[in-house]
Amino acid sequence: MRKPISPAVVRRLPKYYRYLRHAKAEGVERISSGDLSTMSGYTASQIRQDLNRYGDFGQQGYGYNVNRLLKGLEEILGLAKQNRVIIIGMGNLGHALANSDLFDRPSVQLVGLFDNDEMKKGELVQGLPIQAEEDLNDFLDENEVDLAVLTIPAQVARPISKNLYAKGVRGFWNFTSVDLKLGDDAMVEDVHLSESLIILLYYMKNPYDYKGVN
């Protein structure tokens, strides 16, 4: 099997995807690594290296066909696949995510919302009723769930995530400030807002260390 692809590369892929969608929206049909470099700030060399790991999307003397590369990236990024998603914790952040456009793509389909607050039970968000957390296990037994969004308090993050994992959930979008400890086949993507804000404070205090975003 091919060598694992480093996180550095993986984190650039959604950016390439975004720039390409932008180019396409502007009617661009073909694009060179140089063009993408101008848009993204990455070097053309790096962009060619990155894309070349995944196949022969380019053509010498021509560049990349925008549609073809977009299709390729959608396949690579897993956007072609459908994932069934639940949100655990319907506080302000859970509501914000449920109501955002993040789950408008077919690749991520919201199928359940859960909160342990009895008052919220039955409230409709995006057409889905908020369910009690005590109903979670039954729900997981009866429905396939691929991905869980964790917008719960830090104290309950470990036990709830372990339970979800035991019930077969393998994708975790983790908004809690806790490092989850799950099996090797659990995929965890952290959004540590508190750390992100602290990093901004650091650079405001130490602008000398700031290299610019990207």
Partner DNA sequence: TAGATTGTTAATCGATTAACAATC
Binding site for DNA (CB under 7 A): 6, 8-9, 32-34, 42-46, 48-49, 51-52, 56-64
Closest contact distance (angstroms) between CB of 46 and a second copy is: 16
Residue 3 three-state SS? coil
**Which residue, among 192, 148, 186, 153, has the nearest Cα to 170 in the 3D structure?**
186
Regarding 214 and contact with a second copy (CB under 8 A), the answer is yes
Applying CB under 8 A, among 146, 152, 164, 165 the residue interacting with a second copy is 146
Question: How far apart are the C-alpha atoms of 106 and 32, rounded to whole Å?
Answer: 29
The H helix count followed by the E strand count for the chain is 8, 10
Both structure tokens of 150: 């964790």
Closest contact distance (angstroms) between CB of 33 and DNA is: 4
Nearer Cβ to DNA, position 60 or 206? Answer: 60
Backbone dihedral angles phi then psi of residue 131, each to the nearest 5 degrees: -105, 160
Regarding 138 and contact with a second copy (CB under 8 A), the answer is no
Question: How far apart are the C-alpha atoms of 58 and 14, rounded to whole Å?
Answer: 18
Q: Out of DNA, a second copy, none, which partner does residue 160 contact, by CB within 5 to 8 A per kind?
A: none
Regarding 17 and contact with a second copy (CB under 8 A), the answer is yes
Regarding 168 and contact with a second copy (CB under 8 A), the answer is no
CB 128 within 8 A of CB 113: yes
Nearer Cβ to a second copy, position 166 or 193? Answer: 193
